[in-house]
Structure 1
Amino acid sequence: MTSLRRTARTGLAAALLAGALMTVTAACAGEASPYPAARAGSGTDWREPAAYSYTLESSEGERSLLGRFRVTVRDGEVTAASGLDDSARRAVERLPDEVPTLGELLRELERARKENADTAEAEFAADGHPVRVSLDWDANALDDEALYVISDYEPRG
């Protein structure tokens, strides 16, 4: 089974970049970023926990991230990702930094909404975590859509 471990340096750089992006987004919008809190309309005020794991099935389009993955997240960073099928194993080997956290998926959804993508939809579980994210940037373009299905979500204490 192919898996990935990110280094502390990669995590620090990503955390700094994410913080800067959230600050810029908040400044531009004149309001606080909705993430890591769940998108308004989810019915909850879910926040991405410090540690959790989930299974991601990524499909549709010609994306580099296709297949089923088991993902472990700590402090907003993917600390381990395992491909559960051949496509996912190849993706983890070639592009390990492409495997997202749930917060990153929600930020991609928000960006799609802000940029008026033709489809930018999500479904949320009763506790507010996303269970499905569907994106299509341009309905007339081929292979720019993405469908993410989240299952086996387990917050860690």
Structure 2
Amino acid sequence: MTAVRSRARSVSAAALIGGLMCAAVACGTETPTSSGATEGTEPKSETTWEEPSSYMYTLKSSEGERSLIGTFRVTVRDGKVAEAVGLDESGRRVVKQLPGEVPTIGELLEELEQARRDKADTAEAEYAADGHPVRISLDWEKDAIDDEALYVISAYEPADG
């Protein structure tokens, strides 16, 4: 248990330092509001953003030995991925071999919340001014190799109407 508390303090300190550095260099319109679950508290929803039923976004998924590694342009219609285009070699391979693996933003947020419920060592997110996530970082066990996930969300465009 001591390692968990120590890790939580390290994550908090790192998040604070990262936030201060980001503010100091005016790193754009993204607002870092990240936190993982800490011992004795329930994870809190950090955004009031509601996933629209239709939108487009670019997803860069990296780290670990997960099946979802690569860069994708994703079109969501009626709450489901209608089209995923691999933008790099890894992304094209995933789309060809595992087309159902490319997630909606809502599914990424569900993975984040599950990691928090499971008390993962790292379960953090950063959100844009409108509330949608722009970065999700997960690491279930600090000492395990290749169980990390990093999702960077960009070029988010809600559908008209």
When normalised by structure 2's length, the TM-score is 0.71
CA distance in 2, matches of 1:77, 1:57: 18
Per-residue deviation, residues 10-57 of structure 1 (Å, max 9, x unmatched): xxxxxxxxxxxxxxxxxxxxxxxx9xxxx6223xx1100011000000
Q: Which residue of 2 aligns with 1:146?
A: 149
Per-residue deviation, residues 89-131 of structure 1 (Å, max 9, x unmatched): 0011111111000000000000000000000000000000000
Correspondence 1:52 to 2:38: no
2:86 maps to a residue whose letter is: G
2:130 maps to a residue whose letter is: D
1:102 maps to a residue whose letter is: I
CA distance in 1, matches of 2:123, 2:79: 22
- After superposition, the CA RMSD in angstroms is 1.3
CA distance in 2, matches of 1:55, 1:41: 22
Q: Which residue of 2 aligns with 1:130?
A: 133
CA distance in 2, matches of 1:41, 1:145: 21
* 1:72 Cα deviation from its structure 2 partner: 0.3
2:149 maps to a residue whose letter is: A
SS in structure 2 of the partner of residue 89 of structure 1: helix
SS in structure 1 of the partner of residue 152 of structure 2: strand
* 1:74 Cα deviation from its structure 2 partner: 1.0
Correspondence 1:41 to 2:46: yes
Among candidates 119, 124, 138, match of residue 121 of structure 1: 124
* 1:73 Cα deviation from its structure 2 partner: 0.3
Q: Which residue of 1 aligns with 2:64?
A: 61
1:144 maps to a residue whose letter is: D
Unaligned runs of 5+ in 2: 1-42
CA distance in 1, matches of 2:68, 2:113: 19
Percent pairwise identity: 69
